[in-house]
């Protein structure tokens, strides 16, 4: 009777196949050549004995986990689905698993992140999910890291992949100014420490300056790239009977746009008849909002795919460009006031 898989050892496999334990190890870990005849024989014996190599043993033998990690600051909105899709496809092509976790840099930095050198072969780091010191430490330890929507700390050179934010936002805001004669445009500011937020606000300010419109801090609200935050922030603004006049809202991203549209609707404003609303990212739901959202299409799936490809290039001792900047595209729908 065939033994159960948990009682079969690598020595029993070697004995039955008539080879050494070292040969079985080489076959399992694929770290040295063996003949096709021996490989076929080992495969047949392992199937006959129902032998499955322990993952931990493979990892110890090869010093590889065959896992890449993705570290995020949160996973609260639709933005992350295409990013994950792009990364997962590349990992699957390379026969790697993908481990995803969240980490907040505002917490106790003495507490290690949930994923890193101890359980992955390389790490994709989104935005501000690791501190600069943590990134520098990983770089100095020669651990493969690629940044997503974040620049490398100045003291090191970690490759990064992101999208064009500033020019795209300027084009979006100037569309409101030139095509719809908007002058009092609310900015829903993104997370304070995220570079996407910084560059989008820079584009917003640049559009105002280029068109002779003074920047007004009273028209800046916290949106945080989150629908609930934007909803509450705009509610508080509108419930103040002395709030400044406004005629349009740049929500910062599409998720925040959902909260903006809900708040405006509850306070009796019509979009786009009374107020124009625009977003950023062009997530799937944006075309199905009421009204359909004018936004910027960011190639989020491509960001994930390229970042993962760069990580695997680093595994092969090939080093990518320091910064990969992908283009974005203005998507005109009805929420700005254009004819649908």
Mean pLDDT, range 80-99, rounded to an integer: 96
- Global confidence as pTM: 0.81
- Range name among 22-26, 168-172, 220-224 with the lowest pLDDT average: 22-26
pLDDT value at residue 111:
65
pLDDT value at residue 3:
43
Q: Domains for the chain: give ranges and CATH numbers.
A: 5-62 (1.10.260.40), 67-162+300-325 (3.40.50.2300), 166-298 (3.40.50.2300)
Residues in the chain: 340
DSSP conformation letters of 157-213: ---EEEE--HHHHHHHHHHHHHHH----EEEEE--TT-HHHHHHHHHHHHHHHHTT-
pLDDT value at residue 30:
64
pLDDT band per the 50, 70, 90 thresholds, residue 32: low
- Decide: 180 and 248 in contact? Cβ < 8 Å: yes
pLDDT, the chain, mean: 91
For the chain, first and last CA: distance in Å? 72
Evaluate if residue 49 carries a pLDDT over 70. Answer: yes
pLDDT value at residue 267:
97
Q: What is the pLDDT of residues 213-258, one digit of tens each?
A: 999 999 999 999 999 999 999 999 999 999 999 999 999 999 999 9
Mean pLDDT, range 118-123, rounded to an integer: 92
pLDDT over 70 percentage in the chain:
92
């Amino acid at each position: 009777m065939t033994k159960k898989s948990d009682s079969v050892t690598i020595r029993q496999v070697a004995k039955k196949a008539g080879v050494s334990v070292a040969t079985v190890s080489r076959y399992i870990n694929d770290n040295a050549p063996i003949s096709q005849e021996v490989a076929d024989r080992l495969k047949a014996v392992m199937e006959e004995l129902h032998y499955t190599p322990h993952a931990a043993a493979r990892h110890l033998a090869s010093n590889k986990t065959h896992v890449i990690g993705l570290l995020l600051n949160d996973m609260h909105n639709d933005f992350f689905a295409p990013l994950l899709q792009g990364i997962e496809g590349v990992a699957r092509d390379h026969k790697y698993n993908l481990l995803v976790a969240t980490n907040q840099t505002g917490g106790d930095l003495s507490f290690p992140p949930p994923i890193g050198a101890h359980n992955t072969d390389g790490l994709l780091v989104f935005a501000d999910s690791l501190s600069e010191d943590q990134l520098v430490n990983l770089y100095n330890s020669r651990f493969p890291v690629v940044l997503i929507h974040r620049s490398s700390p100045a003291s090191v050179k970690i490759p990064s992949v992101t999208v064009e934010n500033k020019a795209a936002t300027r084009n979006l805001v100037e569309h409101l100014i030139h095509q719809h004669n908007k002058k009092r445009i609310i900015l829903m500011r993104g997370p304070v420490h995220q570079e996407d937020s910084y560059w989008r606000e820079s584009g917003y300010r640049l559009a105002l300056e280029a068109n002779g419109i003074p920047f007004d801090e009273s028209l800046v609200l916290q949106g945080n790239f989150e629908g609930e935050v934007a909803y509450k922030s705009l509610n508080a603004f509108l419930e103040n009977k002395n709030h400044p006049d406004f005629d349009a809202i740049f929500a910062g991203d599409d998720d925040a746009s959902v909260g903006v549209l809900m708040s405006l609707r509850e306070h009796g404003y019509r979009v786009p008849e009374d107020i124009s609303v625009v977003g950023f990212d062009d997530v799937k739901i944006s075309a199905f909002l009421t009204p359909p959202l004018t936004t910027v299409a960011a190639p989020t799936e491509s960001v994930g795919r390229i970042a993962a490809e760069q990580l695997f290039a680093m595994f092969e001792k090939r080093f990518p460009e320091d910064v990969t900047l992908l283009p974005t595209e203005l998507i005109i729908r009805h929420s700005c006031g254009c004819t649908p």
